[in-house]
A and B are shown apart, each in its own frame.
Chain A
Amino acid sequence: MLTAVVFLPLAGAITIIALLGDNPRGVKWFAAGIGIAEFVLSIIVFAQYDHAAGGFQLADRYVDWVPLMDIQYHLAIDGLSAPFILLTGILGLAAIYSSWSVATRHKEYFAWLLVLQTAVMGVFAAQDFILFFIFWELELIPMFFLISIWGSGRKEYSAMKFLLFTFTGSAFMLVGLLTVFFSVNTFDMTQLVGMDLNDLLLPSQLVFAFFFIGFAIKLPIWPFHTWLPDAHTDAPTAVSVMLAGVLLKMGGYGLLRINVSMFPDVAMDAAVPMAILAVISILYGAMVTFRQSDLKRLVANSSVSHMGFVLLGISSIGATAGNLSPVGLTGAAMQMFSHGVVTGLLFVMVGVIYDKAHTRHIPDLGGLATRMPIAAVAFLVAGLAALGLPGTSGFAAEIMIFLGTFPAHGVITALATIGVLLAAGYVLWMVQRTLFGPQRERWAQLTDVSAVEAVAPMLLMAAILIVGIYPAIVSDVFRAGVNDFFPRLMG
């Protein structure tokens, strides 16, 4: 089952390149078909995961994959990864539908997009360290080509910057995972969670730091964040959607999966520095966001702030024994899911506006709501979710993070709440300058979203509102995932 989920997009990509003709319509609809099938599969996997039972389920395992190094082919999901499989299914579909206006080299484009989806699915499903690392690195190749070929602006610079930053992180991560392997002789992540990793070849604090740097670059956390605005700004819409929606989550997922669950003692000692980095990311990211005049750059910078909340939730493990609870960790996972659909939608809408108006420069826009009422509603819903309005997924995630982290770091959490106020400021100001104000002569001919363009916004809005109104759908699964390793934190 999981093998099918992971490799279906890859099979689709190969089919596009090898078998399909050059007809753009055919390629698009074939890709959309794969996207829909993958979306349905991801829902089935998510629904099949029994969160009451917990643990790893739906395993696909081939133990003797590389017997020499004891590397296994091992896919499985637990409560931590199941929602991310769903998220990748949702955003993969949204990405394909927001690529309808791609005009050049469409066969390669959709093939790379599908390869990207396989890589991300693989990261969330792999339970063998080497397999995990392979998928982690595999994701870079389609990203590099997608940005540097179909991007805009300084696309080569941004693609290279993205590549180098991630490589730097990967190097650290690789050192970390090899250290672990040479110390305990296994790559099996399901076993590593239960092991005592305090006595490694290197001090466990250092190994923790290697992994942390790798994931912090990906998340990204200040001061490793500068690749993000460039990559986003110059990437095509669908790539921004995937990048913000799921690729960043790989960083937070890694922190939870490896740093927190495998090195609980070190993680708890590092809680205060993590909280400080988190609050810097939140406030700094938000303040810098205010100054952006490019819509995409604005949304990208806001991601830095929002991902800071993920780290803040993780830092909740610094609470004293009596106050220690899984609320903050679950909230951090929720924030990743929420940010995936919310920022995904924001980028989709920015893409729609750019496709029609051919500019993302905010001072040139304005008054679009009159011409594009449906697009305006979608943009506003995404914005409101980004500022954490109740009834949207953003609120459910942020309130859990705040509630969970406040007992551990009272003052820092109180400072972090200012991030919510700042988010309201930059989001509403952006909405005002883009959608509201007098209708401009220049935009009098704009049309509202077409049926095809409406697919991705509707899908993502539904996800935002469903999770916002009844967050337990997702949070119960994450909770099961956190509960699997949480007892180790309790000591």
Chain B
Amino acid sequence: MLQGHQSWVFENRPVIIGSAAIGGPFEAQGNLAADFDMLHDDLWLGQESYEKAEKKLLEQACETAIKKAGVKKEDIQFFMSGDLINQIISSSFTARTLGIPFLGIYGACSSSMEGLALASLMVDSRFAKLALAGTSSHNAAAEKQYRYPTEYGAQKPPTAQWTVTGAGAGVVAQLGEGPKVTAATIGRVVDMGISDPFNMGAAMAPAAVDTIEAHFRDLNVSAANYDFIATGDLGRVGHIIARDLLKKHGMDIPKEKLTDCGMLIYKDTQPVWSGGSGCACAATTTYGHFLNRMRKGELKKILVVATGALLSPMSYQQKETIPCVAHAVSIEM
């Protein structure tokens, strides 16, 4: 049901009955390695190209999530997925493998929560019994898509981020055991005039703040209602900006209640500059780490605000600024 201006409250409380996170070699050395269902030591995954490797990651995430949910893929009505590769091929090619009716979505790195919100909407409204949401990103494929060749020696500034190699997926059902999706807030596209593609954190922070503000307003809640609020991939730089921006807007969220998937996923010793990014950053952290902690009873209620930078390699060469979006999903155990 619509509540407020841009939020959905899921009265039937759709359940995430199975979820999976798959990671690459760099994620295996990270902070959350134990929460991944599968970790690959080869960036290529034995494939001929990075794009094929990314598709493989997403396939494995979907298959593992379905298996963990204890359902058959034939029982799932709809699959929603998005990624960063041109024409979202990782998602559509995975849909070809799965054979589940498919809706391709694109919200850049916010695709994880965009997919989960839409899957929950379908299930909550009884337009689906089971829906699958997934997303993926691959470090080298994203570098190739957005920046320079992987082996090109360009020096990155301290505001740059490291794209997560991985994929996450979740099966949403009407009934069952597991964390429940209770509400979602769809974000506006916000552009505060940042045009540096090596400074995504600063570009996306206002979008995250806008969505958090809208969520609090629409649902008449505050940070006190949540164990924590996790933004998708603002990194250390964007996190500080978001925190101060929230304070400026009169929402002083305590330090321990505001975190960021891009800061959680890697160790401080890993050379990732400002932190992790990419669709898989919020996806693997949520579908792996957060949901695992919820199932263990460590967390009761969280808000995941996945942030996405909606630029293209062409748009920034044409000197366009970077429009950003953030979608929030509230998950309760």
The answer to whether A and B assemble together is no
Residues of A at under 8 Å CB distance from B?
none
Q: Which residues does B use to contact A, with CB under 8 Å? A: none
